[in-house]
């Protein structure tokens, strides 16, 4: 089947997701739609004379062929609604896109997938929750989905990368750009273990109206949606409402009653739109993901044998609980300047995690 015809089906003026699916069902393929006569096109549900003439003119095929050349040049996959590699959870949603553009290595039909959303003005509390979430999920074979936006989104992606969790960012524009631009490096890092996904072709700007459309993909891709922090209005609550409409599980961390960035979470919990979780392990329990843990990679244990005596002393001190760098220096009798170098080396090896306030803990 021609990729250009599949792309062209999404570019016809006046044809939305529902009409495109009616055309596919009626004619059997995107190619057959463009080969049909106007009289036959008018027999399909939702197709009037203006749309029939647009299809028959084949003008959109020129744009689609240019788009095909771009995606092939940049190793972007075109995931069509009727193909086997299309995300099956998303396909269950009535408003699922007919076509998706995807670049990355993650399996969009992975057995366990979780969408993580929240405010763009994430507090230290929200960022800490994202850190704890990733540390909990890293041995359970979960793929984390979010929107690459400021705040909770980027914290979820960043912590996933730190813990070797595959993570996919769903964009509100074409894959020829990254928005916000400051997240370009993280987006590039995500391609190695996760990916970037969009329903929008190249040259699509990150316009305001694109993000609610993006949110339905975030909600539809996963088994469940977790709201970490959210105001009473915003994209996070929209995504959660969409997940509820798809009969997907929605969870939320509670916050202080007077914290504006937790009002959305508290409201959803109070109105039974989301189940309350106090810790990431609650999420595993509710989803039934805590039955069998994926085997841990033995790399960390192997690395421990190659440590210097002072590095081994630091690791031993941190086994029981996180410590401040001052406490580590005192207990290990290692000068702070030298200790800082050891801590950096251990962190680069993935053995330690640096916490806010110059605290360190074993990974």
- pLDDT tens across 1-19, in order? 589 999 999 999 999 999 9
pLDDT at 357: 66
CA triplet 275, 280, 281: central angle to 5 degrees? 95
Distance, in Å, from the CA atom of 77 to the CA atom of 197, rounded to the nearest integer, reads 10
**Mean per-residue pLDDT, 117-125:** 95
Residue 353: CATH number of its domain:
1.10.10.10
Whether residue 280 is found in the same domain as residue 171 = yes
Distance from C-alpha of 148 to C-alpha of 170, rounded to nearest angstrom: 7
Q: What is the pLDDT of residue 107?
A: 95
Chain-centre distance of CA 210, in angstroms? 16
Is the entire prediction scored with pTM above 0.95? no
Same domain? 175 vs 253: yes
46/300: higher pLDDT:
46
Is a pLDDT exceeding 60 seen at residue 304? no
- For residue 178, pLDDT over 90 is answered with yes
Mean pLDDT of the chain, nearest integer: 90
Residue 90, helix vs strand vs coil: helix
Q: Which domain holds residue 348?
A: 299-362
Output the pLDDT for position 340.
80
Domain boundary, last residue among 246, 265, 287: 287
Whether residue 12 is contained in a domain is answered as yes
Q: How far is CA 209 from CA 53, 99, 181, 206, in A?
A: 28, 18, 19, 8
pLDDT one-digit tens code per residue, 44-94? 999 999 999 999 999 999 999 999 999 999 999 999 998 889 999 999 998
Nearest CA among 104, 97, 99, 100 for reference residue 74: 104
- Looking at the structure, tell me whether residues 181 and 273 fall in a common domain: yes
Q: Which residues does 255 contact at the CB level (< 8 Å), separation at least 6?
A: 125, 229, 261, 262, 263, 265, 266
**Within this chain, do residues 171 and 261 fall inside the same structural domain, yes or no?**
yes
pLDDT on residue 186 = 96
pLDDT-derived band at 320 (thresholds 50, 70, 90) equals confident
Residue 311 binned pLDDT confidence (cut-offs 50, 70, 90): confident
Give phi and psi for 99, each to the nearest 5: -145, 145
Shared domain check, 305 and 260: no
Domain count, the chain: 3
Query: Which run of H or of E encompasses 323?
Result: strand 323-324
Q: Give the full edge-to-edge strand order of the sheet including 352-355.
A: 323-324, 359-362, 352-355
Handedness of CA 290, 187, 170, 237 (dihedral sign): positive
Shared domain check, 282 and 319: no
pLDDT of residue 294: 47
Between 33-47, 122-136, 298-312, the lowest mean confidence (pLDDT) is in 298-312
Triad 5, 109, 27: Cα angle to 5°: 30
Consecutive H or E run containing 80: strand 77-80
Average pLDDT for residues 26-46, to the nearest whole number? 93
Q: Are residues 13 and 152 in the same domain?
A: no
pLDDT for the residue numbered 1: 53
Among 26-30, 139-143, 292-296, 352-356, name the one with the lowest average pLDDT.
292-296
248-276: pLDDT as tens digits? 999 999 999 989 999 999 999 999 999 99
Residue with tokens 């915003």: 234
Query: What is the average pLDDT across 160-167?
Result: 96
- Six-digit token pair at 343? 């801590």
Q: Record the tokens describing residue 255, joined without a space.
A: 């916050």
CATH number, domain at 154? 3.40.50.450
DSSP 293: P
Q: At 346, is the pLDDT very low, low, confident or very high (cuts 50, 70, 90)?
A: confident
């Amino acid at each position: 089947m021609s990729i250009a015809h599949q792309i062209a089906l999404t570019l016809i003026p006046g044809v939305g997701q529902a009409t495109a699916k009616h055309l596919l069902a009626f004619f059997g393929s995107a190619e057959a739609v463009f080969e049909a006569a106007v009289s036959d096109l008018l027999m399909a549900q939702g197709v009037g004379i203006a749309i029939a003439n647009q299809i028959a003119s084949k003008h959109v095929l020129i744009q689609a062929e240019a788009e095909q050349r771009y995606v092939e040049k940049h190793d972007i996959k075109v995931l069509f609604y009727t193909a086997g590699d299309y995300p099956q959870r998303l396909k269950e949603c009535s408003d699922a896109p007919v076509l998706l553009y995807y670049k990355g290595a993650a399996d969009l039909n992975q057995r366990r997938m979780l969408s993580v959303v929240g405010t763009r003005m994430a507090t230290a509390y929200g960022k800490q929750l994202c850190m704890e979430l990733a540390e909990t999920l890293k041995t359970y074979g979960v793929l984390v989905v979010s929107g690459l936006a400021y705040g909770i989104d980027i914290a979820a992606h960043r912590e996933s990368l730190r813990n070797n969790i595959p993570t996919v960012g769903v964009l509100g524009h074409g894959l020829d750009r990254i928005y916000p631009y400051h997240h370009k490096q993280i987006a590039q890092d995500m391609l190695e273990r996760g990916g970037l996904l969009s329903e929008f072709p190249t040259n699509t700007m990150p316009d305001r109206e694109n993000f609610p459309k993006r949110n339905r993909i975030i909600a539809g891709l996963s088994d469940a949606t977790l709201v970490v922090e959210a105001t009473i209005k915003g994209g996070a609550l929209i995504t959660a409402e969409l997940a509820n409409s798809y009969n997907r599980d929605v969870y939320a961390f509670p916050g202080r009653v007077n914290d504006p960035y937790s009002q959305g979470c508290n409201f959803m919990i109070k109105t039974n739109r989301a189940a309350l979780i106090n810790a990431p392990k609650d999420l595993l329990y509710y989803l039934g993901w805590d039955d069998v843990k994926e085997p841990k990679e033995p790399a960390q244990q192997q690395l421990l044998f190659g440590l210097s005596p002072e590095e081994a002393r630091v690791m031993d001190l941190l086994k029981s609980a996180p410590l401040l760098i001052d406490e580590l220096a005192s207990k290990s009798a290692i000068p702070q300047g030298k200790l800082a170098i050891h801590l950096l080396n251990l962190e680069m090896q993935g053995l330690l995690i640096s916490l806010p306030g110059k605290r360190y803990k074993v990974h």
